[in-house]
Amino acid sequence: MAAKPRIAVLGAGLMGHGIAQVFALAGHDVTITDSVAAALVSAKDRISANLRDLGDDVSAVERVRPTSDLADAVRGADYVVEAVSEDLSLKQKLFAEVEGHVRPDTILASNTSVIPITSIMQGLRERSRALGTHWWNPPYLVPLVEVIGTEWTSPQAIEWTIALHAAAGKKPVHVKKDVPGFVGNRLQHALWREAVALVEHGICDAETVDTVIKAAFGRRLAVLGPLENADLVGTDLTLAIHKTVLPDIDRRPGPSPYLERLVAEGKLGFKTGEGFRKWSAEQQAVLRAKVVQHLKKARADDS
């Protein structure tokens, strides 16, 4: 890897500006582009505000260069990461255009949440340098980056990308198959499916589900993963528990009718004031602040 690879970030929204911030703070020159002028113009201010709030080196923002011209943004880049809106044809078109302006060995990454990397990258001429990097929001507070290869991605591209993110202070992991939800969202939504089912079947209310998680195994999860936990208690005990519990756990292949009903009734969560529970503006603000405080403390504890 070159001493400090040049980075281009496509999309200056919630994820894009945060990803640019992480690389700039790690000493990389970063270009950032967006099709909406307001998003591009405010990107450096948002990055400065984040850096200030976190007590990080605010001068890092000087390494970020916004440009409205895609070709200008990616020309000379060693690494291009896309964080534009979650739209397959938009991402396909963007990468096709990017490929005309970069070297054949420039690594191309998509930060899609759920679209298969294979679908996004299939039309490229040089697919061995294309992969997924799934960051978590906010990018400067959540350490994980899932690095996803397709059947075409070269081991060198994966290795290089993992090293790039590790050197920038992230925790990259390798996802070896391009499956929906990668690893993090598969695990998260397996838990959420059962959480919804417990409420749907009247076993407890929504608040109880959240309390059980937060006051019990959620406390341990940050330091004890489920498979470490299985080894800790014994795989034999884990097997015995699975024999009793798994047959009773929700395993319907589609979304819960309860969740579908909430959406049909306009109970969309914070944005409408009610989802599984009712949320006043004040309750929403308190919960949002709590999450950020928790993530900041975890970051401080890590360093």
Vertex 194: Cα angle to 211 and 276 (nearest 5): 60
Q: Select the residue interacting with ligand NAD from 20, 28, 32, 34 (CB under 6 A).
A: 34
| Contact criterion met (CB below 8 Å) for 135 and 82 | no
Would you say 86 or 231 has its CB closer to ligand NAD? 86
Indicate if 185 belongs to the active site.
yes
Q: Which range touches ligand NAD (CB under 6 A), out of 7-15, 45-53, 140-148, 157-165?
A: 7-15
Kindly name the residue from 82, 134, 165, 256 that is annotated as catalytic.
Answer: 134
**Smallest separation (angstroms) from ligand NAD to the CB of 137:** 3
Would you say 58 or 90 has its CB closer to ligand NAD? 90
> Site mask, ligand NAD, residues 89-108, x = CB under 6 A?
-x---x--------------
Indicate if 134 belongs to the active site.
yes
DSSP bridge pairs for 8 = 31, 80
Q: Does 31 bind ligand NAD (CB under 6 A)?
A: no
> Which strands form 107-110's sheet, in the order they lie side by side?
64-66, 30-33, 7-10, 79-82, 107-110, 130-135, 144-148, 171-175
Would you say 186 or 261 has its CB closer to ligand NAD? 186
Q: Does 33 bind ligand NAD (CB under 6 A)?
A: yes
Indicate if 165 belongs to the active site.
no
Indicate if 282 belongs to the active site.
no
Vertex 79: Cα angle to 18 and 20 (nearest 5): 15
Q: How far apart are CA 198 and CA 248, in angstroms?
A: 11
Q: Select the residue interacting with ligand NAD from 7, 10, 47, 81 (CB under 6 A).
A: 10
* Number of residues binding to ligand NAD, judged by CB under 6 A: 24
Q: How far apart are CA 265 and CA 262, in angstroms?
A: 5
Q: Does 83 bind ligand NAD (CB under 6 A)?
A: yes
Q: Report the 3 state secondary structure along 134-185.
A: EECCCCCCCCEEEEECCCCCCHHHHHHHHHHHHHCCCEEEEECCCCCCCCHH
Q: Which range touches ligand NAD (CB under 6 A), out of 8-16, 149-157, 221-229, 279-287?
A: 8-16
Q: How far apart are CA 81 and CA 33, in angstroms?
A: 11
Q: Does 12 bind ligand NAD (CB under 6 A)?
A: yes
Of 225, 131, 121, 115, nearest to 181 by C-alpha is: 115
Task: Give me the active site residues, please.
Answer: 113, 134, 146, 185
Where do contacts with ligand NAD occur on this chain (CB under 6 A)? 10-16, 33-36, 39, 83-86, 90, 94, 111-113, 135-137
